[in-house]
């Protein structure tokens, strides 16, 4: 999926998650590509997202609601095709859901503020990071605020 130039800046009031009318509003606010990932739990193709190789300082925010999620100093190069982080800004910024949809156990990561799908959490892969965790996050789920760290 390619990034859209029509990106929600987070300044609009975020629809309330979980209601049919909220889903219709999300479709009005997000591009079809953003909606497919953020609201329907899709995944963008590897190595195509705008933040895969980004090293700029700042705060990675939820593209849907603008909540601060991952500081850039927790981003690392995992060579997996998606932006990788070893920790969120704070544990209350994300929520976790057990995901066995592909015949394996994974942990889905969602924005705690608006319940948008971010990606998945993997542990014990041996990366040289403080947590040995890899938050594998879709670029299309994020926006980088370079003034926000």
- Give every CB contact of residue 4 below 8 A, 6+ residues apart in sequence: 31, 33, 34, 140
Whether 115 contacts 38, CB under 8 Å? no
The verdict on whether 136 is a catalytic residue reads yes
Gap between the Cα atoms of 58 and 24, Å rounded: 31
**Cβ density class 97-128: b for 16+ within 10 Å, e for less:** eebeeeeeebebbbbbbbbbbbbbbbeeeebe
Closest CA to 142 of 55, 41, 13, 50: 50
Of 62, 65, 114, 136, the catalytic one is 136
The residues assigned a catalytic role are 136
């Amino acid at each position: 999926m390619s990034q859209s130039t029509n990106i929600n800046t987070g300044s609009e009031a975020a629809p309330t998650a979980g209601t049919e009318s909220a889903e219709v509003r999300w479709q009005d606010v997000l591009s079809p590509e953003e909606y497919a990932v953020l609201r329907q739990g899709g995944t963008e193709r590897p190595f195509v997202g705008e933040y895969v190789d980004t090293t700029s300082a700042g705060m990675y925010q939820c593209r849907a609601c603008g909540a601060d999620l991952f500081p850039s100093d927790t981003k690392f190069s995992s060579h997996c095709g998606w932006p990788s982080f070893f920790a969120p800004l704070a544990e209350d910024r994300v929520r976790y859901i057990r995901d066995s949809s592909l015949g394996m156990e994974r942990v889905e990561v969602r924005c705690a503020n608006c319940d948008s799908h971010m990606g998945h959490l993997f542990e014990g892969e041996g990366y040289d990071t403080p947590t040995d965790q890899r938050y594998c996050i879709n670029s299309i789920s994020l926006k980088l605020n370079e003034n926000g760290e």
